[in-house]
Amino acid sequence: MVDKPSSIHRARYHFSLSKLLFWSLVFLGFIVFFFFRSPPSASPSRRSLRGGAGWENSVRQSATPRYSSSSSSAKARRVLVTGAAGFVGAHVSIALKRRGDGVVGLDNYNKYYDPSLKRARTDLLRREGVFIVEGDINDAVLLRELFRLVKFTHVMHLAAQAGVRYAMKNPASYVHSNIAGLVSLFEVCKSANPQPAIVWASSSSVYGLNSKVPFSEKDRTDQPASLYAATKKAGEEIAHTYNHIYGLSITGLRFFTVYGPWGRPDMAYFFFTKDILKGKQISIFEGPNHSSVARDFTYIDDIVKGCLGALDTAKKSTGSGGKKMGPAQLRVFNLGNTSPVPVSKLVSILEKLLKVKAKKKILPMPSNGDVLFTHANISSATREIGYKPSTDLQTGVIFMNVFSTLTIIDVVVPPVNIATMASSEEVPEKLVTEFCSKTKDPSFCHNFAKGDIQTFLGMETALRTKVLDTAIDITTASKSAFSGALGDKQVTEKEKAAIQQCIGLYTKVEQSLQSSASPSADFIAIGQKLQVAGESLWQCQMDLHSHPNHEAIASLKMVNGLANSFVSYVQSEFYAHYLQLNRKN
C-alpha cells in the first residue's frame, strides 16, 4: 500500500476573478503563439535529405499494408507514427508493421538525450521495413508532402518533448513540440481528404496536484504541477477544439511511467542502475511526514497493446477538406499498471537483480514539478479498448536489456545486463573485471549510429579464447533452453512456432561463433557474421515480446537477453581490435 501524503487533500473548485484573469491570459498567449506564428519549415540542409523519386518510393512502400490472404477481417491501415525513433514510438511502429499495417515514421532526432540511441532504434525499424522520415512536426511543408504521397487512415502521434524537470531548463521546447507541434499536425489532418483518425500521447502528469486515487479520466485536471503537464493539458483542450470544429476523430492516451527495453536514459531505472554499478550514491526522495514517492510503473509491452487497442477501436473522422460533416469520436484513456510502487521498492528490486547494495541518500521531494504519486484507474480503457496490463515491475525489470541501451549511449557499465545477473549464477564477473583492467578506459562504449567503436588494447589472446568461448557456451545453452521449452504445457502452438524460429536463429548464430574461433579467422568476416548474429537474436527477442509474459516465455526472454548481450559485446571487441590493428599499421 502506498502512503498518501497527509498534507494533500482534495481541493475544491474556487472560481475567482484573479484565477479567471490568469487562465484567460494563458489562453490568449497560446492563441497568439499558434495562430499568429506560422510553423517553421525545415532548413534547406534538412530538406535536402528528402525528396526525389527514391525518397517518395520509400515512403509509399513503407506505408503499404501487408496482410495475409487469411486475414479477411483485416483493414488496410496506413499509419503515420510521429516520434517513431523514440522509446514508445519505436515499439509501437514495430508492432504495427509486424501485424501487417503500413507504417511511415517521422522523427526530428533532437538532442534531449543522445541521438545515437534514436539512430540505433532506427536501425531496428529499418530491419522491420519501417521508413523513418527525418523532420519536425512543425514543418508544415513536410507534413503536407507526406499526406500528398500517402492517404493515411490513422496518425499515431507520439512525438513530444518529454521530461518534467527539463522544462525548468528549456521551457520553450515544450511549447514548440507539445503545443505548436500538435496544432501543426491537426491543421494538416483537418485538411486531409479523407481525414485520418488520430491517437496521441497525453500524460498522467495532467492529474497534477489531484489527490484522489486512483486517478480516473473523470477527475479534475486543472492543477498542473509542471510546465510539461500544462502543455499536455493544453493539448487535450486543443484536441477537443479540433474534434468539435473540424470533425477529427481523436483519442488521447494518458501514459503512466513507461519503462522497458530501449527506454529513455533519463528514466530512474536506468540512472539508478548505472550509479549502483559504479558505486555512486543515489538520491531517493520522500514526501511530507516521510511519505513514499510512488509511481504506477507500466511496462512497454502493455503500453503498446493499449496503443494498438485505441487505434483499432478509433472511428473514422467525420470531416472532409476542413469541414465537419457530423459528430466525431473524442476519447481519453489512462494506460497504467494500476499498482503504484514506491521508488524505494524499485531500488530494492535493482539491488537484488544486480547483487549490489545501493548507496542511498534520503532527501525531501524538491519543488521541480514532480508529483508524489501516480495511480491509474484503467476501467474505462479495459472496457472500451480491451486494455489489460499483465507485467508487474519485478518481472518487467528482469525483461529489460539494460546493457544494450546503456552501451549505446556511452555509459560506463560492465557488459552484463540485469537479465544476466538475475538468471545465472555463473556470470563471468571475474572475466569482465580482467578485461576492464586491460583497457585504457574501463568502459565498453560504442556508438552504433556512426560505427565508431572505442579502441581496446591487448585483447587478441583473451578475445579468441575466453570471451568467444564464453559466448559460444552461452549460445549453445540458450538454444537448449529454447528446445526444452517446446515441451512446456504452458506454451501454446503459436508460441511453439516462435520458439522454433528462434531455435533456427540460434543454430545460425552458433555456427557463426564457432567459425569465428579459428585462429586464422578474418576480423572483417567475423564482424560481419556477428552483426548478422546480433540481428537474429534481436529478431527472436521481438518475436517473444509479442507473446504474454507467462513463466515459460519470461524465462526465454531472460535467456535471450543474456545471449544477445554477449554476442553484441563480442562483436564490439572484434571491431575494436580490428581498428587498433589498422591504426598500428
Least confident of 365-379, 484-498, 533-547: 533-547
Burial 434-464 (b: 16+ CB within 10 A, else e): ebbeebeeebbbbbbbeeebbebeebeeebb
Q: Burial-class residue 43 by CB neighbours within 10 Å (0-12, 13-18, 19+).
A: exposed
Element spanning 240, H or E: helix 227-246
Delineate the domains of the chain, giving CATH numbers in brackets.
408-584 (1.20.140.40)
C-alpha cell at 585: 599499421
> What per-residue confidence (pLDDT) applies to 295?
93
Q: How confident is the model at residue 276 (pLDDT cuts 50, 70, 90)?
A: confident
> What per-residue confidence (pLDDT) applies to 420?
32
Q: What CA dihedral angle connects 376, 381, 387 and 389, to 10 degrees? A: 10
Where do the DSSP E strands lie in 307-383? 319-320, 323-324, 330-335, 341-342, 359-364
277's CB contacts (< 8 A; 6+ apart) are 354, 356, 413, 414
Winning range, highest mean pLDDT, from 241-245, 362-366, 407-411, 464-468: 241-245
Residue 530 confidence (pLDDT) above 80: no
Q: How confident is the model at residue 525 (pLDDT cuts 50, 70, 90)?
A: low
Q: Burial-class residue 367 by CB neighbours within 10 Å (0-12, 13-18, 19+).
A: exposed
Residue 86 confidence (pLDDT) above 90: yes
Provide the annotated active-site residues. Answer: 228
Residue 372 confidence (pLDDT) above 50: yes
Residue 163 confidence (pLDDT) above 60: yes
DSSP annotation of 575 reads: H
CA 494 centroid distance within chain: 26
Number of separate helices (H) and strands (E) present in the chain? 22, 17
> What per-residue confidence (pLDDT) applies to 566?
64
Q: Which residue, 152, 105, 131, is CA-closest to 248? A: 152
Q: How many CB atoms lie within 10 A of CB 410?
A: 16
Query: pLDDT of 502-518, one tens digit each?
Result: 888 888 888 877 776 66
Q: What is the mean pLDDT of the chain?
A: 76
- Span between the terminal Cα atoms of the chain, in Å: 64
Q: How confident is the model at residue 338 (pLDDT cuts 50, 70, 90)?
A: very high
CA 150/CA 137 separation, integer angstroms = 16
CA 342/CA 71 separation, integer angstroms = 44
CA 79 centroid distance within chain: 18
> What per-residue confidence (pLDDT) applies to 402?
47
Q: How confident is the model at residue 115 (pLDDT cuts 50, 70, 90)?
A: confident
Place of cell 503499404: 64
Place of cell 499509419: 79
Least confident of 24-33, 460-469, 483-492, 553-562: 24-33
> What per-residue confidence (pLDDT) applies to 519?
57
Q: Higher model confidence: residue 330 or residue 516?
A: 330
Q: Higher model confidence: residue 541 or residue 267?
A: 267
> What per-residue confidence (pLDDT) applies to 585?
43
Query: pLDDT of 139-160, one tens digit each?
Result: 999 999 999 999 999 999 999 9
Burial 131-145 (b: 16+ CB within 10 A, else e): bbbbbbbbbbebbeb
> What per-residue confidence (pLDDT) applies to 237?
96
Pairs from 45-48 (Cβ < 8 Å, separation ≥ 24): 46/134, 46/135, 47/141, 47/142
> What per-residue confidence (pLDDT) applies to 412?
27
Q: Which residue, 159, 161, 182, is CA-closest to 171? A: 161
When pLDDT is averaged across residues 331-336 and rounded to a whole number, the result is: 98
Query: pLDDT of 410-440, one tens digit each?
Result: 322 233 333 333 333 333 344 334 433 433 3
Q: Is the peptide bond before 194 cis (omega within 30 degrees of 0)?
A: yes
> What per-residue confidence (pLDDT) applies to 216?
93
> What per-residue confidence (pLDDT) applies to 462?
45
Print the SS3 string covering 59-106.
HHHHHCCCCCCCCCCCCCCEEEEECCCCHHHHHHHHHHHHCCCEEEEE
When pLDDT is averaged across residues 323-329 and rounded to a whole number, the result is: 93
Query: pLDDT of 17-52, one tens digit each?
Result: 444 444 444 454 444 444 444 444 444 444 435 678
153's CB contacts (< 8 A; 6+ apart) are 75, 76, 77, 78, 79, 194, 196, 197
CA 228/CA 545 separation, integer angstroms = 30
Q: Which residue, 140, 80, 78, is CA-closest to 106? A: 80
